[in-house]
Amino acid sequence: MDNAPSPAHAVRLRRLNRWQAETVREELADLYVESSRAQAGEEYRGRTVFLRRLTHAIRQPGFALLVAENTTFTGCVYGFPVPREGTWWRGFEGTLPQSVEQLTASGHVFAITEILVHPHTDEQGLARRLQERLLADHHASLGATLVDQSDARAFNTFLSWGWQDIGSIHRPSASTLPPLRALVLPLGDGLAHENRTQRPG
C-alpha cells in the first residue's frame, strides 16, 4: 500500500484572530484577486471592495478567519455569529422560517461571509472543507450565507453542499443592487426535520 502523502496533506488549515487577520489583509486581497473571475482592468476595484468587506467583517463580534496554506495562502473562509436580535435577516422577503428565527435568537447561527480558494490549488473540495471546519469550530447549529442572485455558479455550488435556499433579502443600504439569496446549512439536528424551510430558488 502506498503511504506517500497526497497533495491535500500539504495544505494545512489555521485559525487567525482579529489582529492576525489585520496583518495579512494584503495577502488575502491578493488571494481574492487571483481567485476571482474579474475582467482585465477590474482587479483594482474588486480588491478595494474586498478589503472593505473584510474590514467590516473583522469589526463584528466573534469574527473568525480560517486560512488554508502551504507555502502561501491557498484559501480562506471567514464570518461571525449572527446577532441574536436578527439584524442579519433585515430585508428578508416574507416571513422568516420559525426555526431559523429561534436558532438566531438562541445565538446558534454562524454567518459565512466569504470563501476564497486559489484556482490552482491541488486540493479538491478545499472550499467545502474550509466552511465545514469553521462552522464546526463554532459549534453552530445553523450556517447562514448570502449569495448574489445573479451568481448562478456560487448559488448552485452551495446547494450541492447541502445548503437550503430560504428566500430573498433586499438590503436597505443596497436598494439599487440585485436581491441576495438567503441560504442556510443545517448542522446536527438543526433544521433536519423541517422541510418547509427549503423553498425552490
Q: Which helix or strand (DSSP H or E) is residue 60 part of?
A: none
Look at residue 201 in the predicted model and tell me its pLDDT: 33
Taking the C-alpha atoms of residue 135 and residue 109, their distance in angstroms, rounded to an integer, is 9
Look at residue 176 in the predicted model and tell me its pLDDT: 55
pLDDT class of 124 with cuts at 50, 70, 90: confident
Tell me, yes or no, whether 169 lies in a domain. yes
Pairing relation of β-strands 109-117 and 142-148? Answer: parallel
Look at residue 80 in the predicted model and tell me its pLDDT: 95
Average the pLDDT over 119-129 and give the result. Answer: 82
Tell me, yes or no, whether 87 lies in a domain. yes
Look at residue 71 in the predicted model and tell me its pLDDT: 82
pLDDT class of 151 with cuts at 50, 70, 90: confident
Tell me, yes or no, whether 148 lies in a domain. yes
Taking the C-alpha atoms of residue 70 and residue 164, their distance in angstroms, rounded to an integer, is 32
- What tens digit of pLDDT does each residue of 9-66 get? 578 999 999 999 999 999 999 999 888 765 556 777 888 999 999 999 999 999 999 9
Look at residue 3 in the predicted model and tell me its pLDDT: 45
Look at residue 101 in the predicted model and tell me its pLDDT: 94
- What tens digit of pLDDT does each residue of 153-185 get? 889 999 999 999 999 998 766 555 678 999 999
- What tens digit of pLDDT does each residue of 77-94 get? 999 999 999 899 999 998
More confident residue, 139 or 197: 139
Residue with cell 447561527: 109
Tell me, yes or no, whether 2 lies in a domain. no
Instruction: Provide the residue count of the chain.
Output: 201
Local structure of 189: helix, strand or coil: coil
Tell me, yes or no, whether 38 lies in a domain. yes
Continuous H helices in 117-199: 126-137, 152-160
Q: Are 145 and 154 spatial neighbours (Cβ–Cβ below 8 Å)? A: no
Look at residue 179 in the predicted model and tell me its pLDDT: 84
Tell me, yes or no, whether 1 lies in a domain. no
Average the pLDDT over 105-122 and give the result. Answer: 90
Tell me, yes or no, whether 5 lies in a domain. no
- Entry pTM: 0.83
Taking the C-alpha atoms of residue 21 and residue 179, their distance in angstroms, rounded to an integer, is 29
Tell me, yes or no, whether 3 lies in a domain. no
Spatial CA neighbour of 76 closest among 50, 41, 40, 38: 50
Q: How many domains does the chain have?
A: 1
Cell of 36: 476571482
Q: Are 82 and 143 spatial neighbours (Cβ–Cβ below 8 Å)? A: no
Query: What residues pair up with 14 in beta bridges, in sequence order?
Result: 67
* Residue range(s) defining the domain that contains residue 155: 10-197
Phi, psi of 71 (to 5 degrees): -85, -25
> Which CATH number does the domain housing residue 52 bear?
3.40.630.30
pLDDT class of 190 with cuts at 50, 70, 90: very low
